[in-house]
């Protein structure tokens, strides 16, 4: 599924309880993270629920990053699904330019999340951006040498 399809799905739903059900369904459709990927290194700090994010970084001048994620909470797993869909398969530069806040505002997520879930969502996005910046920086450093 692509982020545009997710956004269209939310646009057709007016009722917030229905939006929550859709969010949970997105989490159910997320490919499960294998147990060996549920490591301390992959755990996202700052989330009230347990969230794991596995990153694969491609080669090249502007590497493509691929993400897989999971959570032990149904609603949070839906947030992981949206975040992974938004950023996975993009180059490091694209990730750094992509504003997740715009997407979450468009589907009116942030105004309905608890402060803990908002902080966790922010932690996921910050982690992805840090990894993209590191990948872009590593490639820039390699190209300069």
Q: In what order do the strands lie in the sheet with 64-71?
A: 51-57, 64-71, 90-91
pLDDT in tens, 63-72: 999 999 999 9
Per-residue pLDDT, 145: 34
Return the ∠ at Cα 56 (arms to 20 and 102), rounded to 5°. 40
Q: What percent of the chain has pLDDT over 90?
A: 70
* Cα distance between residue 69 and residue 44, in whole Å: 10
Q: What is the CATH number of the domain that holds 124?
A: 3.90.1010.10
pLDDT in tens, 72-99: 999 999 999 999 999 999 999 999 999 9
Average pLDDT, stretch 108-133?
90
* Cα distance between residue 130 and residue 87, in whole Å: 13
> Global pTM?
0.90
The rounded mean pLDDT for the chain is 90
Residue 117, domain extent = 3-144
pLDDT in tens, 2-22: 999 999 999 999 898 999 999
Query: Would residue 44 show up in a list of annotated catalytic residues for this protein?
Result: no
Domain count, the chain: 1
Candidates 23, 30, 44, 47; catalytic one: 47
pLDDT at position 141 over 50: no
Which position has the higher pLDDT, 132 or 115? 132
């Amino acid at each position: 599924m692509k982020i545009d399809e997710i956004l269209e799905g939310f646009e057709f739903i007016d009722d917030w309880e229905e939006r929550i059900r859709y969010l949970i369904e997105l989490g159910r459709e997320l490919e499960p993270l294998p147990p060996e990927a549920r490591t301390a290194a992959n755990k996202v700090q700052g989330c009230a629920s347990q969230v794991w994010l596995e990153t694969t970084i491609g080669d090249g001048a502007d590497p493509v990053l691929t993400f897989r994620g999971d959570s032990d909470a149904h609603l949070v797993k839906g947030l992981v699904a949206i975040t992974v869909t938004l950023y996975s398969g993009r180059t490091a530069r694209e990730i750094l330019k992509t504003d997740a806040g715009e997407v979450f505002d468009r589907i009116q997520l942030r105004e309905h999340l608890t402060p803990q879930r908002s902080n966790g969502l922010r932690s996921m996005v910050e982690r992805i951006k840090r990894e993209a910046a590191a990948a872009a920086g590593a490639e820039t450093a390699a190209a300069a040498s």
